[in-house]
Amino acid sequence: MISPDGREAPALTASHSGCPVICTLSGGLSYAPGVGERVGYARCSPDEQDLAAQRGALLGLDVPEEQIYLDHGPTGTSSDRPGPAQALAAVRAGDTLVAPRLDRLARSVPGARGVKLSLGGTLYDPADPMGKMFFDILAAFAVFGAGLLRMRTREGMAVARAKVKLKGKQPKLTARRQSHLVQQHQSGEHTIAGLAELFSVSRATVYRVLDCHRNAATPSTPGGQ
């Protein structure tokens, strides 16, 4: 079998009730050599970019556009996604079920129930101890990857919060806009309410800016007199 980069790659095939074939190259699930239609399936995150990426990956594996089934939405362990059932309903004997990666096909062991994997001529059936161990390893890697993603997300949020704290509370008006507000007030053309609307701030903010300006303009008396 030839991988997308043109090199030979070992195949991982699977049969569902003895009919469709799932085949993987290093780096992704692809089609097995032979005749028949290719039906594609992938789980996608809510991100529209991921949806486009998975569709593009399946098209790159020679799956016709009309034979692509995608589940698009929040990730989770729910087994009621319509995509897998639709994809399996579309395959016939001799067809090939294609997925960009194994984790895009079955998120966990229950999600892969009924699928047997054959690696290097060895059949892995989840019904026997060896096959169950193999599926458990696949599930562990899926859980590990999801955990890493959650950890990185939390770390990113923590960094973002830390940056906000370091910056401190930012003033609603820059120094230049505060000076402009004072000038507009001194012109006598605007009321406090008018200034608040003009600068998109509350009247309390307008009063604070004017008070700060008056305090800064009032010279201090030596000796506090």
Per-residue pLDDT tens over the stretch 48-91? 778 888 889 889 888 899 999 888 765 554 455 787 778 777 87
Per-residue pLDDT tens over the stretch 183-202? 999 998 889 999 999 998 99
Under a CB-based contact definition with an 8 Å cutoff, are residues 31 and 38 in contact? yes
Residues that are catalytic = 45
Burial letters for 183-209: b for 16+ Cβ neighbours within 10 Å, e otherwise? ebbeeeebeeeebbeebebeeebbebb
Answer with the residue of higher pLDDT: 108 or 10.
Answer: 108
Query: For a pLDDT cut of 90, what percent of the chain falls above it?
Result: 14
Mean pLDDT of the chain: 70
Distance CA 222, CA 225 (A): 6
